[in-house]
Amino acid sequence: MAVGIFDSGLGGLTVLDAVSRRLPEIPFVYYGDNAHAPYGVRDAEDVYELTTRGVERLWKAGCDLVILACNTASAAALRRMQESWVPAEKRVLGVFVPLIEALTERQWGDNSPPREVAIRHVALFATPATVASRAFQRELAFRAIGVDVEAQACGGVVDAIEEGDMILAEALVRSHVDALKRKMPDPQAAVLGCTHYPLMEEVFQDALGPQVKVFSQADIVAESLADYLQRHPRMRGPGDEAMYLTTGDPGRVSDRATQFLRRRIEFVAA
C-alpha cells in the first residue's frame, strides 16, 4: 500500500512530512534526485529524462501512485508523462492542481468549466523552469477566468536552501518579493510554487505583508492525496516498506534531511 514521493532534492520533504501526518497508516517511499538538483535551471528534456528515471525506481519499490512533489517536474514533464508514458495501471500526479483547486475554492477533482473566482491578482513564486513552462497559468485557465498572474523566477533560493544557507535564502526571497511588487504592487494572493519554499513561508509572508494570503503546498497536497486515495483505493501500491532513496551521497543527504525535518532521517542509495 506504499505511495511514492518524487523530488529533485530535499524540498519534497515538506510534502512528505505533511502527507505522513495526514495518512500515518501509509508507508511512503521518498526519492530525492540530489545528484542532479536543482531542476529549476535545467531544460524540459533533461527534467523529463530525470523524472521518468526516478518514477521508475519508485514503481520498483511497489508504489503504483507517485506524487511529483517537485514543481519543476510537474510543470515540465508531467503532462508528457501522463499522455504517452505512464501505463494504465499506474498513476503519476503533480502538485499544481491541488494548489489551484484550493486557490479557486473548488472541491478536489472538480472538472467543471472555468468560472470567475474571488481572487483576481495572484503572485507566483517559482523556479526559472517552472515560470518558463507557464504550466501554472495553463492549469489555472482550466478552472478560473479573469485571474491575473504575475510570475517571479526565484533564482538561487533552492540552491541556498539545499546548502543550508538560510541567511542567503532569506535575502534572496526578500529581493524576489521586491521584484514582484514592482510588477504587481498589490497581489491578493501569493503561490509558493516550489516545495522548498514552505521553509521560507514566514519570510515570504513578512515581505508581502499581512494583507496577502500565502498558499503553500504541503498541507494542501496532503488533503488532496487523502481524498484521492479514498476515491481510488486500488492505487495504493503493493509496497509495504517506507524508504528514503537518494541519487546523492546518502550520509550527506541524511544529515541535511535531518536538519529539514528536525528528526533523524536515513537515506540509502537509489
The catalytic site residues sit at 70, 194
164/156 Cα distance (integer angstroms) = 12
Q: Give the DSSP H/E element, type plus range, for residue 19.
A: helix 13-22
Q: Name the nearest CA neighbour of 159 among 187, 138, 132, 128.
A: 128
Q: Give the DSSP H/E element, type plus range, for residue 149.
A: strand 148-153
Residue 184 C-alpha cell reads as: 504587481
Helix axis angle, 250-261 to 13-22, nearest 10°: 60
Q: Give the DSSP H/E element, type plus range, for residue 245.
A: strand 243-246
CA 108 to chain centroid, in Å, comes to 17
What is 65-77 written as a DSSP string?
EEEE--HHHHHHT
Query: What are the backbone dihedrals phi and psi of residue 268, each rounded to the nearest 5 degrees, phi first?
Result: -125, 160
Q: Name the nearest CA neighbour of 80 among 52, 104, 59.
A: 52
Are 50 and 34 within 8 A, CB to CB?
no
Using CB atoms within 10 Å of the CB of residue 150, give its burial: 0 to 12 exposed, 13 to 18 middle, 19+ buried: middle
